[in-house]
């Protein structure tokens, strides 16, 4: 799912292509993409784009007369910029947003269709689409600490809860927690003040640096490969590969449809976190530490 750095990359690429230009048409290949009724989606056609913004992980097109298009890409939704009137791809295409000088295609890979499009009129109606999470760049360390501890969750869950923090998901939470040297399963209520300060700095640094890196790599081109697994990531998607800090193999735990990637040496004091499925299966045979796991592998 595109997160803060990826959404900001899209906004960077879309601003010179969309802002100030009239939306001349909307073509839908999948009618289930549209999740709103009033105003009708075609009410946005013929209006000039006057701004773009991020709302959590959503991308918002602001049009004249306080009309808004709210697009949530979910897991597999992506944008492509093509020539005017470009055909919507057959298997993955969801919609096309036409401008005189180009077409923005919305696609979604896979069989599930989770991406959504809402047409909204008025700022109050737009606010209803905000999940409520705060932007970490609007907080100081004390406010971040208070927000983090407002509910007692694991750090992984707290960072990725859209009601608490804006735009952080599975991928960048792994990167943040490794940078902060904190376990993804540590409870927010058990954080020390020093650990909370470290997490605050790591969150801002990781998000800021990845945004700058992605924009620099893409330049003036339109991003074609927005993915949750990027070269240069320290933990996410690197199961079994060496931690860039200490060289220990990155481990992972899976739960529901998500996973957490972590370094046992840097984040958990050498302790292996229990994967719910495997630990239930292995019970007493589940290794508790890296040393124990290595001894068993040598048998």
- Share the mean pLDDT of the chain: 92
Rounded to an integer, what distance in angstroms lies between the CA atom of residue 56 and that of residue 167? Answer: 5
Reduced to 3 states, what is the DSSP secondary structure of residue 202? helix
Q: Tell me if 19 sits within 8 A of 49, measured CB to CB.
A: yes
Domains of the chain: 4-127 (3.20.190.10), 136-298 (1.10.8.50)
- Indicate if the pLDDT at residue 296 is higher than 60: no
Contacts of 74 by beta carbon, 8 Å cutoff, 6+ apart: 1, 108, 114, 115, 116
pLDDT the model gives residue 111: 80
Neighbours of 89 (CB within 10 A): 14
For residue range 84-108, list pLDDT tens digits in order: 999 999 999 999 999 999 999 999 9
For residue range 44-62, list pLDDT tens digits in order: 999 999 999 999 999 999 9
Packed helices 193-218 and 141-148: angle between N→C axes, nearest 10 degrees: 100
For residue range 120-179, list pLDDT tens digits in order: 999 999 999 999 999 999 999 999 999 999 999 999 999 999 999 999 999 999 999 999
pTM over 0.95: no
Burial 130-142 (b: 16+ CB within 10 A, else e): eeebeebeebeee
Please, which contacts does 155-160 make with residues 24 or more away whose CB atoms are closer than 8 Å? Answer: 155/182, 155/183, 155/184, 155/185, 155/186, 155/187, 155/188, 155/191, 155/199, 156/184, 156/185, 156/260, 158/188, 159/203
Rounded to an integer, what distance in angstroms lies between the CA atom of residue 143 and that of residue 25? Answer: 43
Res. 291 pLDDT band, cuts 50 70 90: low
Instruction: Write down the H helix ranges in 181-289.
Output: 193-218, 264-267, 276-282
For residue range 212-248, list pLDDT tens digits in order: 999 999 999 999 989 888 999 999 999 999 999 999 9
Rounded to an integer, what distance in angstroms lies between the CA atom of residue 99 and that of residue 23? Answer: 5
- Indicate if the pLDDT at residue 290 is higher than 60: no
Rounded to an integer, what distance in angstroms lies between the CA atom of residue 116 and that of residue 129? Answer: 12
β 25-28/93-99 pair status: antiparallel
- Indicate if the pLDDT at residue 299 is higher than 50: no
Rounded to an integer, what distance in angstroms lies between the CA atom of residue 83 and that of residue 220? Answer: 16
As given in the structure block, the two tokens for residue 226 are 């927005």
Reduced to 3 states, what is the DSSP secondary structure of residue 152? coil
Q: Can you say whether the dihedral through the CA atoms of 36, 40, 42, 47 is positive or negative?
A: negative
Q: Tell me if 79 sits within 8 A of 105, measured CB to CB.
A: yes
As given in the structure block, the two tokens for residue 253 are 């735990």
Rounded to an integer, what distance in angstroms lies between the CA atom of residue 246 and that of residue 51? Answer: 44
Q: Tell me if 184 sits within 8 A of 272, measured CB to CB.
A: no
């Amino acid at each position: 799912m595109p997160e803060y750095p990826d959404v900001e990359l899209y906004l960077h690429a879309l601003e010179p292509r969309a802002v100030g230009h009239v939306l001349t048409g909307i073509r839908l290949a999948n009618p289930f993409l549209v999740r709103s009724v009033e105003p009708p989606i075609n009410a946005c056609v013929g209006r000039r784009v006057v701004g773009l913004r991020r709302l959590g992980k959503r991308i918002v097109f602001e049009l004249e007369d306080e009309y808004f298009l709210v697009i949530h890409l979910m897991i597999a939704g992506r944008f492509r910029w093509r020539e005017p009137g470009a055909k919507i791809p057959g298997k993955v295409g969801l919609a096309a947003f036409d401008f005189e000088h180009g077409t923005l295609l919305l696609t979604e890979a896979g069989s599930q269709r989770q991406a959504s499009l809402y047409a909204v009129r008025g700022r109050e109606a737009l606010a209803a689409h905000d999940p409520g999470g705060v932007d970490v760049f609007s907080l100081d360390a004390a406010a971040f600490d208070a927000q983090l501890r407002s509910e007692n969750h694991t750090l992984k869950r707290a960072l990725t809860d859209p009601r608490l923090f804006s735009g952080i998901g599975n991928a960048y939470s792994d990167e943040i927690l490794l940078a902060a040297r904190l376990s993804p399963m540590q409870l927010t209520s058990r954080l020390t003040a020093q650990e909370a300060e470290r997490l605050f700095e790591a969150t801002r640094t990781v998000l800021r640096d990845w945004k700058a890196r992605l924009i620099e790599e893409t330049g003036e081109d339109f991003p074609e490969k927005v993915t949750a697994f990027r070269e240069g990531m320290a933990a996410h998607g690197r199961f079994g590969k060496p931690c860039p800090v200490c060289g220990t193999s990155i481990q992972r735990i899976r739960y529901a449809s998500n996973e957490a990637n972590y370094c046992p040496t840097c984040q958990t004091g050498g302790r292996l976190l229990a994967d719910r499925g495997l630990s239930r299966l292995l019970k007493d045979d589940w290794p508790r530490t890296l040393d124990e796991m290595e001894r068993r592998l040598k048998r």
